[in-house]
Amino acid sequence: MTIVDMLRENARRYPSEVALVEVNPERRENRHITWRDYELVETTDEEPFRREMTWQVFDEKANRFANLLLSRGIRRDDKVAILLYNCIEWLPLYFGALKSGATVVPLNFRYSADEIEYCVEKADVDILVFGPEFIGRVEEIIDRIQPGRLVFFVGDDCPTWAESYRELASLCSSADPNVPLSEDDDAAIYFSSGTTGFPKAILHRHRSLTQAAQMEQVHHRQTHDDVFLCIPPLYHTGACMHWLGSLITGSRGVLLRGVSPKTVLETVSTERCTIVWLLVPWAQDILVAIEDGSVRLKDYHLDQWRLMHIGAQPVPASLIRRWREVFPNHAYDTNYGLSESMGPGCVHLGMENVDHVGAIGVPGYRWECRVVSEDGRDVEDGEVGELCVRGPGLMECYYKDPEATAETLVDGWLHTGDMARRDEDGFLWLVDRKKDVIITGGENLYPVQIEDYLMGHPAIKDVAVIGLPDERLGEIACAVVQPKEDAKLTEEDVARFCKGLPRYKRPRKIIFAPVPRNPTGKIEKPALRAKYGAEGLVARESEQ
């Protein structure tokens, strides 16, 4: 059974029950807007802006999009990219692409125009579906990605160079096209990047999606009565794969645009959410807001909230201890995973193992794990080695990159690039990342991209970007800048120059110092982290 079959089954069993809810506090002023969405989405006038959709409507919307794609010549293994913020259309578009037999390609909404173009070309995308927030970026590259590709716009006031998805889909049948699918068919391409910053296209088959749904339900014991609150972006395997637990149980999912403590608690309260997946900074913010009195728990209905889990980055044990003091009745879990393993859960702590907080956990449902040395042998418990995983959610390959595939997939094992150790109880603990990716607030930053940008400053001779520990975000990007001789350069100068970068990529700390390189010209980042890591944490603590 594929996840497409699960959607069909939910539409049959729970046609009039709510499947998806969109809550968007950012659109309070537009709450009376009338959405021209071929009368398939119920819109309310509540604050904040809110829409909901039943399982039958969800299935019909997916069918309409699938039939639209088929009418435009899309066939099995063609590629359909989705570039949208979280919204109620996102998942029906995803499933519609799958129902047509196409491979769906979710795109990071943080991508610049050049990165969008790169990914569209890399994945051989045939159709790009995008929302109003991306008009400017898509318009920059439209002449280069057309002709040869179709561009569908989701929203009102469609640009002249695109086609209106809503108008086109309203003319298509809501009947299921019933394109045959198997677990061995290609399903999705997700993008990830290594330390070079160049995204790799990760190809998964349908079995990976089915595994993710089954695993989520097993790990978190979801039932039809649960309500899952999804805050992170759906282009992440993490968010989408966690939501698949709602799919397999036919339970309600709530998509929230907003991460403030008040917004999260209000939504949990009004939507009666039982399961909430947070990132470390959001959990930190909620605790701080409770402690300083800016939110009061007695103002919310939270008795039904049974599980808080965290993923995407290392979790401080102290955070969870504080959380459980405030919410003693919450179960807790943490999830480890990669896009190459179809997102979170190939390793998970387990709700019954809260006494091992700090560890990433044990092998997830139907997964196996090894910790190996450089020569590929299994290390002894307590020794540090590279974490390798194997299971039914493993990627098929890096699309059109056999060399990278061969380096990462060895004898059926995925080499994660993360260094770990296993304790005597069988729990895995992350020690360090073999790669230099910085994870800040759940988002990956790629140092080379930031370094390349900073090297464009006329007064900079050399630069290295490293991650420093941060109590709230997990890590922050620190730029070690070596100015040219006799150059006058201040932190304000560098910060002003970095305004050309997306906000989340801008270094939060700048240090003026020589940049050490080894004889082959590589930056000695371990030495920099050793030198400035503790200093960075002290600096953060002194600011609070």
The mean pLDDT value for 88-114 works out to 96
Answer yes or no: are the C-beta atoms of 470 and 440 closer than 8 Å.
Answer: yes
Provide the residue count of the chain. Answer: 544
The pLDDT of residue 44 is above 60: no
Pairwise CA distance, residues 342 & 64, whole Å: 27
pLDDT grade for 539, boundaries at 50, 70 and 90: very low
What is the widest separation between alpha-carbon atoms in the chain?
Answer: 73
The token pair that represents 201 in the structure block? 């296209």
Answer yes or no: are the C-beta atoms of 306 and 332 closer than 8 Å.
Answer: no
Answer yes or no: are the C-beta atoms of 137 and 110 closer than 8 Å.
Answer: no
The pLDDT of residue 46 is above 80: no
The pLDDT of residue 29 is above 80: no
In 72-201, which ranges are continuous DSSP H helix? 90-99, 113-122, 135-145, 165-170
Q: Give the mean pLDDT of the chain.
A: 89
The mean pLDDT value for 296-314 works out to 91
CA torsion, ordered 101, 107, 112, 114, to nearest 10 deg: -30
Closest CA to 32 of 49, 9, 52, 16: 49
The pLDDT of residue 358 is above 50: yes
Closest CA to 14 of 256, 248, 241, 215: 248
Pairwise CA distance, residues 486 & 380, whole Å: 53
The mean pLDDT value for 487-505 works out to 92
| Residue 433: predicted pLDDT | 64
Pairwise CA distance, residues 218 & 117, whole Å: 38
CB atoms within 10 A of CB 10: 24
Cis preceding linkage at 316, omega within 30 = no
Which of 65-69, 245-249, 271-275, 486-490 is predicted least confidently?
486-490
The mean pLDDT value for 532-537 works out to 59
| Residue 371: predicted pLDDT | 97
The mean pLDDT value for 387-401 works out to 97
CATH topology (fold) of 438-543: GMP Synthetase; Chain A, domain 3 (3.30.300)
In this structure, what DSSP letter does residue 271 have? H
The pLDDT of residue 365 is above 70: yes
The token pair that represents 460 in the structure block? 């900079």
Domains in the chain: boundaries: 3-206+217-230, 332-435, 438-543
Domain 332-435 sits in CATH at 2.30.38.10
| Residue 219: predicted pLDDT | 97
The pLDDT of residue 462 is above 90: no
Instruction: State the pairing for strand pair 343-348/362-363.
Output: antiparallel
Classify 240 as helix, strand or coil: helix
Q: Is 288 exposed, middle or buried (0-12, 13-18, 19+ CB in 10 A)?
A: middle
Q: Report how far apart, in Å, the C-alpha atoms of 297 and of each of 262, 291, 293 are.
A: 10, 10, 9
Closest CA to 125 of 77, 193, 186, 194: 77
pTM: 0.83
Pairwise CA distance, residues 520 & 537, whole Å: 31
| Neighbouring-strand partners of residue 280 | none
The pLDDT of residue 345 is above 90: yes
Which of 46-50, 80-84, 466-470 is predicted least confidently?
46-50
Which of 264-268, 311-315, 347-351 is predicted least confidently?
311-315
| Neighbouring-strand partners of residue 204 | 188
CB atoms within 10 A of CB 255: 25
Closest CA to 263 of 285, 245, 280: 285
| Residue 434: predicted pLDDT | 67
In 32-87, which ranges are continuous DSSP H helix? 55-71
Superfamily of domain 3-206+217-230: ANL, N-terminal domain (3.40.50.12780)
The mean pLDDT value for 306-322 works out to 83
Q: Which residue has the higher pLDDT, 504 or 60?
A: 60
């039932």: which residue's tokens?
A: 223
The pLDDT of residue 445 is above 70: yes
The token pair that represents 165 in the structure block? 């998805």
pLDDT grade for 41, boundaries at 50, 70 and 90: very low
Which of 355-369, 415-429, 431-445, 476-490 is predicted least confidently?
431-445
Residue 298's contacts (CB-CB under 8 Å, 6 or more residues apart) are none
Phi and psi torsions of 3, nearest 5°: -65, -25
The token pair that represents 13 in the structure block? 């069993």
| Neighbouring-strand partners of residue 228 | 253, 275
Answer yes or no: are the C-beta atoms of 277 and 242 closer than 8 Å.
Answer: yes
CA angle 4, 212, 59 (to 5 degrees): 20
